[in-house]
A and B are shown apart, each in its own frame.
Chain A
Amino acid sequence: MQIDRRLFIHFDWVLLGIVLVIASIGILNLYSATAMIEMAGIPYYLKQIFWLLIGLAVMVTIAFVEYRYYSDVAYIVYGVALFLLIVVLVYGIMTSGAQRWVRIGPFSFQPSEFVKISFILALAKFFHRPPDRKGYSLKELLLPFLLLVLPMVLILKQPDLGTAIILLLVFFSILIFVKIRWFSLLTIGLTGAAAVPLLWSLLKGYQKKRIITFFNPDLDPLGAGYHLIQSKIAVGSGGIIGKGFLKGTQSKLGFLPEQQTDFIFSALGEEWGLIGSLLVIGLYMAFILWGLRIAVQAKDRFSAILAFGVVAMLFWHVFINIGMVLGMMPVVGIPLPLLSYGGSFIVSTLIGVGLLLNASMRRYLF
């Protein structure tokens, strides 16, 4: 395949720059947050650098392959991802009560991370055919629904409530982005509301407890509410200027749960205070608004929806994760892109960035 020189001219350096800055902060913060964790083998931040490099390589590759190819293989990729979800349920590794990992050689990875990308791909493929003047009808939305429900059920079975919620939110975000009929929207909304009790009954005990304690954390300060309380203490104790790099006590002394993954933002807030938090939040906002711009300026429907799907995924990750860390939302396992530790997650995030870059630099082509 020949690479067009114009691609380099139109390469989205701004997006790459934002991503690299956030990722660097992420490494630094991870280094500090895990400085006290005694662990055999390679420290977290080195592993994260390794995965970051892999992810950047994948990102560049993804960016330079013409996205029309992705359109051709979208449903196949979706199918493979679904297959992996079944594999993980059968052969997956159990860690802390959930079966989320598959081992391939020396690496283990989380298929649910790649399901998010393949799901977006499949939806972009489906919606690239425009609706009639009034928008998509309910009947037309049947297939996208199926595309949502299949992976969601498999993911809830692991169980991984966080990823399931992301899939759901990305799905509705895309529905809003493409035009659907008012009647369809209303029906989906009402059906969704009616399904809440059903979903509630599907939740595991600890998931229900987390949601209950979110609304009243004092109910169980040493149990499920502990995470919320300690996280708020960590962020709040940072104050305006923070306790300083490597000086966070909440993260160092083990008062934060999962401080390297879901609660990484508490460590940041504790050590860098309001100033550091605002800087990172500003970067995320720039990241998302820039991605939104890419989506609306895209050349065609497929790349626009693809880019929008990725932006929606990133937005919900950031919003729910930080909201949870700040005690605005129940504790659900949704990591923070580029800050949380996790190989599969960083690679899937960077694949998404690759797709954004791809759409961005090809908006003047074809």
Chain B
Amino acid sequence: MMELNTQKMEDFQGKYKYLMVFVGLAFLLIFIRLWSLQVIKGSELRHLSENNRIRLIENPADRGMLFDCKGRVLAHNRPSFEVYLVPEDAKANPEVLVKVAEMLNITRDEIEEKIQAQKRRAPFRPVKIKSDIDWNKLALLESNRVFLPGLIVDVRPRRAYDYGDLASHLIGYLGEVDENELRQSKEVPYRMGALIGKYGVEYQWENDLRGVDGGRQIEVDALGREIRPLGVVGPFPGNNLFLTIDADLQKTAEEAYKDKNGALIAMDPKTGRLLAMVSKPSFEPFAKNISPEAWKALVENPFHPLTNKGIQGQYPAGSVFKIITAIAGLESGTITPNTSFPCEGAFHYGNRDFRCWKEGGHGRIGLHRAIAESCDIYFYQLGLRLGPDLIARYAHEFGLGKATGILLPHEKAGIVPSSSWKKKRFGTWYSGETLSFAVGQGYLLTTPLQLLMLISGVANGGKLYLPQVVEKIEDINGNTIEEYPPIESGRANVSQKTLQIIQEALKGAVNDPHGTGSGCLLKEVKVAGKTGTAQVVTLPDDFKRGEMKRIPLRLRDHAWFVAYAPFEDPKISVVVLVEHGGFGATAAAPIARKVIEKYLNLKPPLPSKTPEKESDLEYAD
């Protein structure tokens, strides 16, 4: 056995101090690092560890339903069956993809593509293979479930509009939430791919309709396999909306249009509630992103199916505007009901002939007949005496030139020109322009809703109500969340006497022997109304309006008709616009008649007895 060597042991002892310090420093380093991880970054890393293990399986809320004023369901949610595949589970058996593809009527490659597209997903995350499969496919899949590991069929609510394209512009549509909307929804964020109201009521009342999405929290392991459920939240369905429109009336109105284009709005003049809102052509409401081709077709359609023309379309008011000119004349004392002007079929002003629609003229004509028979030359002369600014003042009294404030997106304000308005844009107002303005042409632009406000205001003794489309909001249990009572949004500063004169004249337009609105004549009730024609292009002076049918459709005039009934106690007011329809009298008035008949529950006259008088009134304005 070797001898113990105890030489130079002091070499070791001399290093003891330094070694202790070294060990101490090393452990201090570890301590500092621990402190930084567990104390300073503790809560942040705790959060990360929770993210690691907790997955949220979304369970979208049922969107609130839409009802009409009689409680008919306009929009609801039907179950849609969505097929998912968990690739990790399905890969065990290559037959699965083949079988699923066969049952869903798609190719195997399509499935592979969808899985490939989500390459970066977490493991065991299901991949959506097909949405909204029908019952037959569902039955097929379910009965073969045992042989299809990794297959998941999930039920999701899907927006359904049982009336098809009925009131599609009012109801609107949904689409996938875009980046902008994602950024703006900070308080209650949308998840990627969620559907959001994009147009119409679906857009305007999005916050009430969407509800609160629920979800199931599950704990997963590092491979993403579910370990145990942690909790279930919601979903809480959205609130139900009761619209003011009547689906039956809406249907009547839409059918009355046949294949014509344009807009119709009916309103209860004493509350401002809309009874029908039509814009033609309509579109099939789509509650999902439609194909790019279909979207392009809609956007590029020359008749603008995606525009709610009742509030977004701006047109010259045509002869409907004569109501304003007349009111301005009476209120300013420029005329009395007995003032008369001569009409010889043309009015020479400057170096131009301004024509009346009626060839040969009306002869000497007073205010009542001038309105009822829509004499242009009467209003040319009245307009010249008033000047543009006085006319504009009364147009503003009835809300023209500014948005009505209806709760629907993209409402347009229209234009009411005046001398100062023109000065700002183009220069001096020429008095010849006053002539056009007085009969609702020229720079003047109105939306159908604004003209409806005008006629309702006249019917209502000057009172203007805010047009509304929603009556109340209820939660899922039927408790009222919010009500929308009628709101008087303004009062035209016009004397009752003036309004009575106008009302009588409007009654005459429909009921008098030579009235231009006789297309809306009803036996049971007295209707008051006014026709109008909005020029699309300025026609040559020698153009005979009777030849309108010979020019291309897109250049033909728009036809207007505004009306209210019953005359004594107005319950409904209507505006009808028929794009490129020619004369208001022939194209628009019969549509208004059908709507009024329907709403006042009158028996529709037999079609053969009351032809639409197209021949008689071929060129009445």
Contacts and interface: CB of A to CB of B under 8 A. Distances in A.
Given A68-B1, A238-B38, A288-B23, A278 B49 contact: no
Interface string B1-21: 110111111011101100110
Contacts of A78: none
Contacts of B46: 236-237, 239
Nearest to A297: B13
A236 B27 contact: no
A235 B39 CA distance: 10
A257 to B, nearest CB: 9
A178 interface: yes
A68 B1 CA distance: 7
A233 B15 CA distance: 39
Interface string A321-361: 01100111000000000000000000000000000000000
A177 interface: yes
Interface in B43-61: 43-46, 48-50, 52-53
A253 B53 contact: yes
A236 B1 contact: no
A234 B50 CA distance: 10
**Those 9 A-B pairs whose CB atoms lie nearest each other, nearest first:** A236-B45, A237-B49, A254-B222, A239-B42, A300-B4, A236-B37, A253-B221, A130-B8, A237-B46
Interface in B386-400: none
Interface in B89-111: none
B373 interface: no
Interface stretch (B28-36, B134-142, B285-293, B510-518): B28-36
B33 A296 contact: no
B544 interface: no
Contacts of B23: 285, 288-289, 292, 315
Interface of B: 1-2, 4-9, 11-13, 15-16, 19-20, 23-24, 26-27, 29-31, 33-35, 37-39, 41-46, 48-50, 52-53, 219-223, 227
A69 interface: yes
Interface in A163-212: 176-179
A273 interface: yes
Interface stretch (A24-32, A51-59, A301-309): A301-309
Given A72-B1, A237-B46, A296-B16, A232 B8 contact: no
A128 interface: yes
Nearest to B1: A68
A154 interface: no
A249 interface: yes
A232 B37 contact: yes
A277 interface: yes
Given A253-B220, A308-B12, A234 B49 contact: yes
16 contacts: A130-B5, A235-B38, A236-B48, A237-B45, A239-B46, A250-B52, A253-B52, A253-B227, A255-B49, A274-B38, A277-B38, A288-B23, A293-B16, A296-B13, A300-B6, A304-B9
Contacts of A139: none
Contacts of A289: 20, 23
Contact of A319 (B7, B30, B34, B45): B30
A236 B41 contact: yes
A186 B31 CA distance: 32
Contacts of B4: 68, 299-300, 302, 366
Nearest to A239: B42
A59 B24 CA distance: 27
A249 B38 contact: no
B53 A301 contact: no
A: interface residue count bin: 35 or more
Contact of A300 (B1, B5, B20, B220): B5
A69 B34 CA distance: 43
A16 interface: no
A326 B31 CA distance: 10
A71 interface: yes
Nearest to B46: A237
Contacts of B8: 130-131, 179, 301
B39 A274 contact: yes
Interface string A262-275: 00000001100110
Nearest to A173: B19
A123 to B, nearest CB: 14
A129 interface: yes
B12 A292 contact: no
Given A250-B49, A253-B222, A278 B34 contact: yes
A292 B13 CA distance: 10
B7 to A, nearest CB: 4
A240 B219 contact: no
Given A68-B2, A301-B5, A273 B38 contact: yes
B227 A177 contact: no
A298 B4 CA distance: 11
B1 to A, nearest CB: 5
Contacts of A177: 12, 15, 19
A288 B27 CA distance: 11
B42 A237 contact: yes
A235 B44 CA distance: 12
A233 B45 contact: yes
Contacts of B19: 177, 292
Contacts of B44: 236
A284 B13 CA distance: 22
Given A237-B49, A292-B20, A315-B26, A301 B39 contact: no
A129 B35 CA distance: 45
Contacts of A284: 27
Nearest to B6: A300
A133 to B, nearest CB: 9
A315 B45 CA distance: 28
B34 A237 contact: no
A33 interface: no
Contacts of B24: 285
Interface string A107-139: 000000000000000000000111100000000
A233 B9 contact: no
A82 interface: no
Contacts of A328: 29-30, 33
A130 B222 contact: no
Contact of A128 (B5, B38, B222): B5
B5 A302 contact: yes
Given A236-B42, A237-B48, A323-B30, A255 B222 contact: yes
A63 interface: no
Nearest to B4: A300
Contacts of B9: 300-301, 304
A240 B38 contact: yes
Nearest to B2: A71
Given A68-B4, A278-B31, 11 more contacts: A69-B1, A128-B2, A179-B11, A285-B23, A301-B7, A301-B8, A302-B2, A302-B5, A322-B30, A327-B33, A366-B4
Contacts of B5: 128-130, 300-302
Contact of A254 (B11, B34, B48, B223): B223
Contacts of B16: 292-293, 296
A288 B53 CA distance: 38
Contacts of B52: 230, 233, 249-250, 253, 255
A311 to B, nearest CB: 9
Contacts of B42: 236-240
Contacts of A323: 29-30, 33
Given A72-B1, A236-B46, A238-B38, A253 B219 contact: yes
A281 B527 CA distance: 96
B13 A233 contact: no
A329 to B, nearest CB: 10
Contact of B34 (A269, A302, A304): A269
User: By CB atoms of chain B within 10 A, which of A255, A284, A299, A327 has the most?
Assistant: A255
A212 to B, nearest CB: 21
A315 B44 CA distance: 31
A295 B37 contact: no
A237 B51 CA distance: 11
